[in-house]
């Protein structure tokens, strides 16, 4: 299995420990653009696309394997085995935070720490737990994905207007990093938003930094606090940000919190 091709693996920077960046539902590794360069001086940085997203090998997509997050966790384990050197810190956005937790369960002791950006162990309300969504909301999302079917399908790539003030943006980025084969997008949406990982993540002893936006529709503050409560060695950091992507819209606040958290793995502290 050619992992590099399957997951479009990118490796930059060097250091005694490895940061593995795993993107969330919707886009691909390009969303780490505002963040990763800050760390390449001190860390080996590994970024990849989940199978089905971005520039991953679509022929590797299997409806059976990726019918649950376990399939993605298995891929992450393989990537860690192959590309990580030294202590591994997983940086997972959104659903990838849970994929990281599942990978930790598969590879006990191998993962030194987690940085969870906008994580949620369960999106749908159940009993006393408030995830923020109801089942019909997820159906509404699937419907929205469906209605953008033509827009996202490869044969009708949307024409992008000139983006004033952003001449540096390379042409191949145009919409593509958030464009997914519609059927895959729908299955991934279903798997992401229907999954309940509260049991998997509860009691995970690995040190964890939770980066929680002050206002996030997809992962509300209460969900971040819930996660903080069930993770014994977790640090909760509230980032002033509106939206689900603080690593894009508030990268400064994110790197600041991450620097502090990553101290034990920087330079001379690592044997």
Partner 1 sequence: MSVEHPPLPDAEALFEDAPCGLIVSREDGTILRANRIFCTWIGRSVSELLGLRFQSLLTVGGRIFHQTHWAPLMQMQGSVAEVKLDLLHRDGHVVTMLLNGVRREHAGGAYNELALFGTTDRDAYERELLAARKNAEELLWEKTAAESALQQLKSELSIAYEKSQRRALFAEQMVAIASHDLKNPLTAIRMACDFLARSERNVKDTQLLRHINQSSERAQRMIADLLDLALARVGRGIAISRSSLDLHKIVGQSISELRVTFPQARVEHRIKGAGTAELDADRVQQIIGNLIANSVAYGDLQHPITVMSEVDSGMITISVHNEGPPIPDSLIDNLFEPMTRGSVKDEHLRSVGLGLFIVREIAVAHGGHVAVTSGTATGTTFLVSIPTIESAADTVD
30 lies in the binding site for partner 1 (CB under 8 A): yes
Contact between 48 and 8 under an 8 Å Cβ cutoff? The reply is yes
Q: What is residue 34's three-state secondary structure?
A: coil
Is residue 25 involved in binding partner 1 (CB under 8 A)?
yes
CB atoms under 10 Å from CB of 256, counted, come to 14
Residue with smaller CB distance to partner 1, 15 or 24: 24
Q: Which of 217, 232, 233, 259 binds partner 1 (CB under 8 A)?
A: 217
Between CA 96 and CA 5 the distance in angstroms is 20
How big is the site for partner 1, counted in residues (CB under 8 A)?
51
SS3 36: helix
Residue 250 engages partner 1 in binding (rule: CB under 8 A): no
| 99 is a contact residue toward partner 1 (CB under 8 A) | no
Which residue stretch of 10-18, 96-104, 166-174, 204-212 sits at the interface with partner 1 (rule: CB under 8 A)?
A: 166-174
Residue 154 found at the interface with partner 1 (CB under 8 A):
no
Q: Determine contact, residues 75/52, Cβ cutoff 8 Å.
A: no
Tokens 């080996």 identify what position? 44
Closest to partner 1 by CB, 42 or 180: 180
Q: Which of residues 56-95 bind partner 1 (CB under 8 A)?
A: 94
Assess contact for 175 and 157: CB atoms under 8 A: yes
Which amino acids are annotated catalytic?
A: 94, 216, 244
């Amino acid at each position: 299995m050619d992992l590099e091709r399957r997951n479009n693996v990118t490796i930059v920077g060097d250091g005694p420990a490895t940061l593995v960046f795993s993107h969330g539902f919707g886009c691909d590794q390009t969303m780490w653009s505002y963040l990763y360069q800050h760390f390449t001086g001190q860390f080996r940085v590994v970024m990849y696309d989940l199978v089905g997203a971005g520039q991953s090998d679509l022929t590797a997509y299997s409806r059976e394997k990726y019918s649950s997050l376990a399939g993605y966790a298995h891929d992450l384990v393989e990537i860690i085995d192959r590309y990580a050197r030294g202590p591994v810190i997983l940086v997972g956005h959104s659903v990838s935070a849970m994929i990281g937790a599942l990978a930790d369960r598969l590879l006990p002791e191998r993962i030194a720490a987690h940085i969870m950006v906008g994580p949620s162990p369960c999106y749908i309300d159940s009993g006393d737990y408030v995830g923020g969504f109801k089942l019909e909301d997820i159906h509404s999302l699937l419907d929205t994905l469906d209605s953008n079917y033509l827009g996202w399908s490869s044969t009708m790539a949307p024409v992008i207007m000139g983006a004033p003030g952003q001449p540096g943006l390379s042409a191949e980025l145009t919409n593509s990093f958030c464009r997914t084969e519609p059927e895959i997008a729908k299955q991934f949406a279903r798997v992401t938003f229907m999954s309940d990982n509260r049991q998997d993540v509860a009691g995970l002893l690995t040190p964890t930094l939770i980066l929680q936006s002050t206002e996030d529709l997809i992962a509300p503050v209460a969900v971040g606090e819930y996660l903080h409560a069930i993770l014994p060695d977790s640090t909760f950091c509230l980032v002033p940000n509106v939206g689900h992507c603080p690593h894009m819209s508030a990268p400064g606040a994110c790197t600041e919190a991450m620097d502090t958290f990553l101290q034990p793995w920087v330079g001379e502290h690592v044997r």
